[in-house]
Structure 1
Amino acid sequence: MKTLTATAIVSAVSACLTSLIFVGVVNVATTTDVGAAVAPVQTVTISAKRMSDEDKLAYDLEMAQMVVTQVIEIHAKRLSAAEKAAMVAE
């Protein structure tokens, strides 16, 4: 009876060790190196000046000939002193 109990204990310990080793090997095998990839940042440069009639015509002709995939329109207005003060207060 003591031999059967000792055999059962050894068998159980062996099974536990085997499962721990297997889990460790699987865990090491599935671990991957995770690195952060830096996405490129799109930058937009905005410059403003009044266009002459010739510049407007040339721009319109250029835009008509181009295949435009993205158009960004920016509309601006001059702020009053009160609006400027409100922005500074924010």
Structure 2
Amino acid sequence: MKTITATAIVSAASACLSSLIFVGIVNVATTSNVDASVAPIQTVTVSAKRMSEAEKLAYDQETSMMQTVVISAKRLTPAQKAAMTAE
């Protein structure tokens, strides 16, 4: 009876060791190098000052001939931040 139990233990240990070796080989075979590229961060500088009436009029005339870009911002929730990080 003891021989059967010892044989079963040795057999089980052998099977575990074989599966660990196989999984290790498969893992090594499927591993590939992935290079991470860092995207450049764009920065925008915003300055503000009070304009005189003449400056306001000149600005309005100048911008009436060109395209205006409107930028708005809002605070992101933690879930939105996580979603952006996952992208």
Give your verdict on TM over 0.5.
no
What interval of TM-score do these two structures reach, taking the shorter chain for normalisation? 0.3 to 0.5
Rg larger in structure: 1
TM-score (ref. length: structure 1): 0.42
The TM-score, its normalising length taken from structure 2, stands at 0.43
